[in-house]
Structure 1
Amino acid sequence: MNAQMPPEAILPASAPESRLDADLVVVGAGIVGLAHASLALVSGLRVIVIDRDYEAVGASVRNFGHACITAQSGELYDIAQASRRHWLAMAARANFWASEAGAVVIARTTTELTVLEELSASREPGQVVLLDADETARRTGRPNAAGIRGGAWLRDDLRVDPRTTVAKLAEWAHAHEDGSVRWNTAAIGFEASHDGGAVTVRTSRGILRALRAIICVGHDVDYLWPALAAEHQIRRCSLQMALTAAPEGLDLAPAVLTATSMLRYPAFRDMPSAARLHDEVLATRPELLDIAANVMCTQRPDGTLIVGDSHAYSPTAIPFLDEDTSKLLLDEQSVILGRDLKVIQRWQGIYASSDVGSYLVREVEPGLTVVSVTSGVGMTLSFGLAERTLAEFEPALVREA
């Protein structure tokens, strides 16, 4: 089957009331929606995925392609580890690139190195491996170790190519004998299941009926269930990111994180020296905190670098990019890698954010469940969250990937 088949050919005008179109309808073909669809298909369910666009253009293609497993803590760590297992299994099934090269955190001060030492001591041997300055430079492709104290390798982190992975997953789901991915098909209304009956999803191309529907529309929850979005305090987080030309001679296997990354991810923030690190960055580089920076980068299979990012929060994403912010991020990344970088693309990322929790899972009506990752770790949590959500429907539903 062709995942890009003409929209007019992919959905009948209506479905007979006497039959179900699928066991599960998933609204949204981003990574969270496709994670739910993929695990449901592996479990033997009939699945239809719909998306209002002609291809994935949201947060799932605008990120670093980094599953930041190691830097999660508590419940999020458990979800991330489950997600890691499914990521690798689905990479084999859907034939997309996934790297187990981990991530390297560069430490340029004694305080930064202390946070890494504390995290390493708190984890199982081998998960957070401390590196000296020379080894840190070697793993991050720096020409020399000048200006750094050392670093740490985060073993369990994964990398995928955000520009191609979601499309590969969608193609796999659509080609599956029990799957269908229907682009340019918007959800415009829902009717709940009553007395164990079917749910109805009204779309711009007709009606779909299924046992359940999972709605994975990211920050657009407020368009469908504004009261729920208000309760969970969902805002839009806007990011400034860029793609640079492939630096000559750079073969960067791991993701590269910095002090600002340590200030954003919970496992680092849980460490005793995290508050001291915050004060140090505030005293030395307050402009990075002003834009809520996470200075990091990943290298795509074609050699280009994804660099970023800043964070700004509001109910509506303001579309205008600030050139001073872009320049600050690029200059800082150039210092981190010890290389000149040439920007070839810029873009605005947008994801759902909430101070209430890192994710939202809510059955809004019988048979209708809203799922949204309300933090910047959608790639990290996607499959693990899908495993939990599907298992709540039926404990034996999700088989081992």
Structure 2
Amino acid sequence: MSRHDIVIVGAGIVGLAHALAAARRGRRVLVVDRDAAANGASIRNFGFVTVTGQEAGAVWGLARRSAQIWAEIAPAAGIAIEQRGLLLAAHRREAEAVLDAFLATPMGSDCRRLPPADLARHWPMLVPPRAALWSPHDLRVESRTAIPRLAGWLAAAHGVAFAYGTAVHAVETGRVETSRGPIFADQVIVCPGDDWATLFPDCYAEAGITRCKLQMLRLAAPGWHLASPVMGDLSMVRYLGYAALPEAAALRARLEAEPAAAAALAHGVHLIAVQSADGSLVVGDSHHYAPTPDPFAADAVDAHILAAYTELLGPPPPVLARWTGTYASAAGHSIVRAPARDVRLVVVTSGTGASTSFALAEQVLDTMMGETA
């Protein structure tokens, strides 16, 4: 194979984000992936580019910038932005206090508390909440189609080459060993997600990375339209932008005192509902942690997800599909390691790949190109 400026291992959203950042800097890029098409965490999620509620500081900044990039490239890549914004609904008095506290932070800028009349007029499908916040910062794409369209656009518009069905066995400075022979490159960026057994396992072990398994559902079209993704009380004790606020402690105590909510929390369940172009809803999710989670979806966990849906949006429509996914999980947002000269290992460990990878990739490329210069 010919020599490239940069080889990227992994064609999920983290790898594609690095391919975009490299191509925008004039680099000749090859993306290598062992599968015939993206099939992992990048297509098994909501496609929800979440800004509101991300951890304050650097992560929130990454999400803001990544949402800007999604908005820039989506029209050119033929990726529809299915929904914009976020509605955060509070059904408990303690959740209302968290909502108001968030509005008072810098992250609450441009967000607003919706008056009851607006809620009744524009969100009649909601079980009436005590209060609701609307944010303009978020957006949603259909991940199962957005990821392949992003890859196709990178190839057509930026000359990024792809080698699918190609397993990578080893990486060292200037050389990538693959099932199709060696590939040579000035720099290598490895974005393998939760595959810690193949490349740089010591880095994974040092960072304490395990796997998070999630369950998700697609529901039939309910006959109404959600202008924005919707979240509720359980999300306010999971997303650090809310959960780190002092007011969240009282909400968690209230939820843990309610048997149904406590059972949901035990399975890491919180409710996000998004809507696709065909009207169907994607809802979830749950969180279970293990080095090798079992591949089976538990009906009891789905029942907790649907119960959270009922609290927020009323009786759920029929379930059309169920699936599981896994992603790399550890304390902190991500790891960026340099296991060899001109080599980077980049793993998002917070389940926020779609929301933060574009901006993270810009930072990684800026650093690598600065070192080369």
Q: Above 0.5 in TM-score?
A: yes
Aligned partner (choices 313, 318, 326) of residue 294 of structure 2: 318
Aligned partner (choices 183, 200, 210) of residue 208 of structure 1: 183
Alpha-carbon RMSD: 1.8
- For 1:303, the equivalent position in structure 2 comes to 279
Where do residues 66-215 of structure 1 align in structure 2 (5 Å cutoff)? 66-72=48-54, 73-99=56-82, 101-123=84-106, 126-136=109-119, 138-142=121-125, 146=128, 148-176=129-157, 178-192=159-173, 199-215=174-190
Aligned partner (choices 321, 326, 330) of residue 354 of structure 1: 330
SS at match of 1:310: coil
- For 1:218, the equivalent position in structure 2 comes to 193
SS at match of 2:230: strand
Distance change in 2, residues 1:242/1:208 (3 Å): same
SS at match of 2:321: strand
Distance change in 2, residues 1:225/1:127 (3 Å): same
Where do residues 252-401 of structure 1 align in structure 2 (5 Å cutoff)? 252-284=226-258, 285-355=261-331, 357-395=332-370
The letter of the residue matching 2:345 is V
Aligned partner (choices 246, 263, 267) of residue 221 of structure 2: 246
Q: Deviations over 1:322-364 (max 9, x none)?
A: 1111122113213311243211110001111102x21011111
CA apart distance, 1:112: 0.6
SS at match of 2:104: helix
TM-score (norm 1): 0.88
Q: Distance in 2 between matches of 1:343 and 1:372?
A: 33
Distance change in 2, residues 1:188/1:137 (3 Å): farther
Q: Distance in 2 between matches of 1:298 and 1:389?
A: 31
Distance change in 2, residues 1:293/1:44 (3 Å): same
TM-score (norm 2): 0.94
The letter of the residue matching 1:257 is M
The letter of the residue matching 1:62 is R
Establish whether residue 55 from structure 1 lines up as the match of residue 37 from structure 2.
yes
The letter of the residue matching 2:42 is S
Unaligned runs of 5+ in 1: 1-13, 16-20, 193-198
Q: State which drifts further: 323-332 or 163-172.
A: 323-332
The letter of the residue matching 1:268 is Y
Unaligned runs of 5+ in 2: none
CA apart distance, 1:183: 1.2
Where do residues 7-86 of structure 1 align in structure 2 (5 Å cutoff)? 14-15=1-2, 21-72=3-54, 73-86=56-69
Q: Is the 8 A contact 1:106 1:136 kept in 2?
A: no
Q: State which drifts further: 304-313 or 204-213.
A: 204-213
CA apart distance, 1:124: 6.5
Q: Is the 8 A contact 1:60 1:162 kept in 2?
A: yes
The letter of the residue matching 1:338 is G
SS at match of 2:137: coil
The letter of the residue matching 1:162 is S
- Percent identity, please: 37
SS at match of 2:170: strand
The letter of the residue matching 1:211 is D
SS at match of 2:144: coil
Distance change in 2, residues 1:389/1:270 (3 Å): same
Q: Is the 8 A contact 2:82 2:276 kept in 1?
A: no
Distance change in 2, residues 1:133/1:110 (3 Å): farther
Q: Deviations over 1:11-36 (max 9, x none)?
A: xxx44xxxxx2111111110010011
SS at match of 2:347: strand
Distance change in 2, residues 1:112/1:138 (3 Å): farther
CA apart distance, 1:186: 1.3
SS at match of 1:157: strand
Distance change in 2, residues 1:330/1:100 (3 Å): closer
CA apart distance, 1:376: 1.5
Q: Distance in 1 between matches of 2:363 and 2:247?
A: 33
Q: Is the 8 A contact 2:127 2:314 kept in 1?
A: no
The letter of the residue matching 2:238 is R
SS at match of 1:307: strand
